[in-house]
Homo-oligomer: A and B are copies of this chain.
Amino acid sequence: MSNDSRKPGRWFSTRFRVRYAETDAAGIVHHSTYFVWFEEGRSELSRQVGMPYAELDRQGVVLVLTRAEARYRLAAHYDDEIEVRTRLEEVRSRTAVFGYRVLRVADGELLAEGTTEHLAVSRQSGRPMRLPEPFASAYRAAAGG
């Protein structure tokens, strides 16, 4: 019997405006910025499920990123209002996979999609560990499992 959840959960949402410093000489948001936005989405999800990311930190657990991927469809520009939708796509005993959609609020266009994979690691030992409670349960609940 497993506590794993492989059914994607519901989307959590956060909005902000594109900063000038996030653009590059091509006049659009630099692609590396989307990973910062994904992290914002992840933080917001954690806040909304009552599990602030900062709390994990205080428990000595680091959610190490093991893989990050973004697929870009349309460019974002300075001052655009952006919505990042984030969901848990899979939660296992030591790993979690988050999915992201980045939209332009003005017209609802999908700008980019992405995925990040995380491994729970003890800050002290540097070794993988089980996602601690109450995170594991909260994450599983958020993941619809």
Contact = CB atoms under 8 A, between A and B. Distances in A.
Interface stretch (A63-71, A86-94, A96-104): A63-71
Contacts of A28: 25
Contacts of A79: 43, 52-54
A4 interface: no
Contact of A39 (B20, B54, B64, B70): B20
A70 B70 CA distance: 9
Interface string A29-55: 011110110011001000000001110
A-side interface mostly? mixed
B70 A67 contact: yes
Sorting the interface of chain A by its residue count into under 10, 10 to 19, 20 to 34 or 35 or more gives 35 or more
A72 B78 contact: no
Contact of A65 (B17, B31, B54): B31
19 contacts: A20-B24, A20-B30, A20-B43, A20-B53, A21-B36, A23-B24, A24-B24, A24-B25, A25-B27, A26-B62, A31-B65, A43-B79, A52-B79, A53-B78, A54-B78, A54-B79, A66-B71, A67-B70, A67-B72
